[in-house]
Amino acid sequence: MKTPTGMTLRERVYLPEIFKGMLVTNYHFLRNLTLHFAHLVGLAKERSAAATVQYPDQRKTYSENFRGSHRLTLRPNGDVRCTACFMCATACPAQCIYIEAGEHPDPQVEKYPLRYEIDTLRCIYCGLCVEACPCDAIRMDTHVHPRIWGFDRKDFIETKEVLTHRSVVLEEQGRDGNMNEMLAWYKEQERRPYDRLRPELKTYTERERRRQELEQADHAERTAADMLVNARPSDG
C-alpha cells in the first residue's frame, strides 16, 4: 500500500491521533454527563447538555422575520383594518383568499369584510397578499407555523375571527402566544373522540353515510351563499 503523502510521522503512527480523538469524545461525554447531573439537582439550567431540541417538550422560537400564519391587523378601536378592497385576493397566486364585502356603519369607512377566509390547504405562504395590501391590514408576523393536521378540510379554513384573534393574542401575549395557542389546540384535538361528527355512529358505513350527508349539506349551503354574493372566484 502506498503511504499517503503529507502526513507527519506522528500522524502515521496513528496512536497519538487516536488518543487525541478519544480526548475529544471523552470531553463531550464527561461534559454532558456532568451537565445532566447538574440539571437533575437544579444547577446550570442555562447550559444545555445536548445540541438537540426535545420537540415538542421544548421548541425553538422562530426568527424575527419568520413568515408564518396570517393575521388581520386591527385599528386602535379594535375594528378590523381591512377595507375589503380585494387586492390580496387578486394578488394571491393560489386563489386561497375568499372575501365577502359589506358596508361599514361608519360613513368615513367605505367597506369592511363580512367574511375573510384563507384556505390554508391552498395557501403557499408566499406573502404576496401582505405585499399587495395598501392599508397594512394583513401580516404574516405571528411567529406560528400553519396548522399541520386537522380532522377535515374545514379545520384548515381560517376565518376572519381566527385571523383577528391572532392579532389580539400577539398584542396581549407576545410572540409565543399564537404558538402556545396552537399547541393547546392540538392537545385539545387529541382528546376529542375519533369521529367528532357523530360518536354514536359505530360502523364505518354509518359514519361514511353521515359524513357524505354533512358534506352535501355544507356544499349546498356554500353554493347558495356564492350565488347570493356572486363574488367567489370560480375554482380553476
Partner 1 sequence: MLTDLLIDAAKAIVAVLLVLNLATVLLWFERKGSALIQDRVGANRAAIFGIGRRLGVPNLGVTNTFVADPLKMFTKEDFVPDQADRFLHTLAPFLSLFPVLVTFAVVPFGDRLIVGSRVIDLQVCQLDVGVLYLLAVLGIGIYGAALGGWASNNRWALLGGVRASAQMISYELAMGLAIIAVVMTFGTLDLQEICRRQGGAWFGWLPKWGIIYQPLAFLLLLTAGIAESKRIPFDMPEGESELIAGYFTEYSGGKQAAFMLTDFAEVVLVSALVATFFFGGWQVPYLYPEGFRLPGIGSVLLPNLVVAVLGVLAFGLKVVFFCWLQILVRWTLPRFRYDQLMYLGWKILLPLGLINLAATAVVIVAVAS
Least distance in Å: CB of 10 to partner 1? Answer: 16
Nearer to partner 1, 43 or 217 (CB): 43
> Where do contacts with partner 1 occur on this chain (CB under 8 A)?
1, 15, 18, 21-22, 24-26, 28-29, 32-33, 36, 40, 49-52, 54
Nearer to partner 1, 29 or 185 (CB): 29
**CB within 8 A of 182, min separation 6: which ones?**
144, 147
How many helices and strands (H and E) does the chain possess? 7, 5
Nearer to partner 1, 43 or 220 (CB): 43
Least distance in Å: CB of 52 to partner 1? Answer: 5
Least distance in Å: CB of 29 to partner 1? Answer: 5
Transcribe 146-180 into DSSP letters: PP---SSGGGGEE-HHHHHHHHHHHHHH-TTHHHH
Residues 73, 167: Cα–Cα separation, whole Å: 6
Least distance in Å: CB of 19 to partner 1? Answer: 10
Nearer to partner 1, 18 or 197 (CB): 18
- Cα–Cα nearest to 178, from 198, 162, 190: 162
